[in-house]
Amino acid sequence: MSEEIESTPENVPVPSQPKGVNEGRRRLGKLGAGGTAAVLSVASRSAVAGWGSCTGSELASGNLSRPGAANPCGCSPGFWWNNNGTALWTSSPTLNVTYSRTKKFNTVFGRAFYTGNNVKLANVGPATSNPNKFGANDNTGMHAVAALLNAQYYGARYPVLGLQSAAAVIAAFQAACDTAAMATTAQGKKAPFIDFVQKVDIYGRTTDLWCNGSRE
């Protein structure tokens, strides 16, 4: 059932802010566990509750060594599939080299989750439906990829404890697949993925969450 998992470097240096990502006012698609999108309008501003705004240049410059509490960082699933998120995903070596949009989901996550082995990371965004082997909700893959990208790009500032590296996100998703494979009922097969999505779907319950320079 398993496929070969790709190498997953942890906490590699983050590059400077790509030109394709809008630093100013932007519109992000924000999705919850139910997969319903709500369009938000946000603007870049300085941190209030803590320091830092999670831009690539800030992370790369060593500002994490500053004293005080850092703002948590993580972009909603809708962001990663809108124009700004796609620009960041495709221009950042931290993301594009290891987890490019054309990489196959089943290969990256090391499990045959989707029925079709050619489903790419780019193919599991909002309003997509790809049959999976467990009857999991359509938004499961989307949340898994968003968690993967957030953990890879933001590292320790991604506020999902235990899932602050790409390897940890992949391991958690593999555990959900393995638990589901042993279940004997349809609900039992679905339950581990519901739990996984609830853990990584932090966007409505995390205060002062920043996404590449702007609050969510």
Rounded mean pLDDT, 144-163: 95
* Structural domain for 34, as ranges: 26-215
| Within a domain: 5 | no
Within-domain flag for 3: no
Please give the Cα distance from 94 to 110 (Å, whole number): 20
Which of 5-19, 37-51, 180-194 is predicted with the least confidence, judged by mean pLDDT? 37-51
Q: Per-residue pLDDT tens for 48-100?
A: 445 566 766 666 665 555 666 778 999 999 999 999 999 999 999 989 999 99
pLDDT value for 60: 60
- Segment (H or E) for 214: strand 214-215
DSSP string, 19-51: TTS-SSSEEEEEE-TT--EEEEEE-B---SSSB
Residue 108 lies in a domain: yes
Cα 111 to chain centroid, rounded: 18
The number of folded domains in the chain is 1
Please give the Cα distance from 153 to 109 (Å, whole number).
17
Q: How many residues comprise the chain?
A: 216
What is the pLDDT at residue 73?
A: 93
CA distance 193 to 212: 27
* Domain-embedded: residue 77: yes
| DSSP per position, 43-110 | -B---SSSB----HHHHHTTGGGSSSPBPPB---HHHHTSHHHHHHHHH-HHHHTTS-TTSBHHHHHT
| pLDDT attached to residue 199 | 98
Answer whether residue 10 is part of any domain.
no
Q: Is the pLDDT of residue 161 over 70?
A: yes
Q: Select the more confidently predicted residue: 210 or 25.
A: 210
Q: Report how far apart, in Å, the C-alpha atoms of 70 and of each of 16, 63, 84, 166 are.
A: 19, 10, 23, 20
**Residues 1-19: what's their mean pLDDT?**
43
Q: Is residue 2 part of a domain?
A: no
Residue 170 dihedral angles phi and psi, to the nearest 5°:
-60, -45
* pLDDT tens, position by position, 90-144: 999 989 999 999 999 999 999 999 999 999 999 999 999 999 999 999 999 999 9
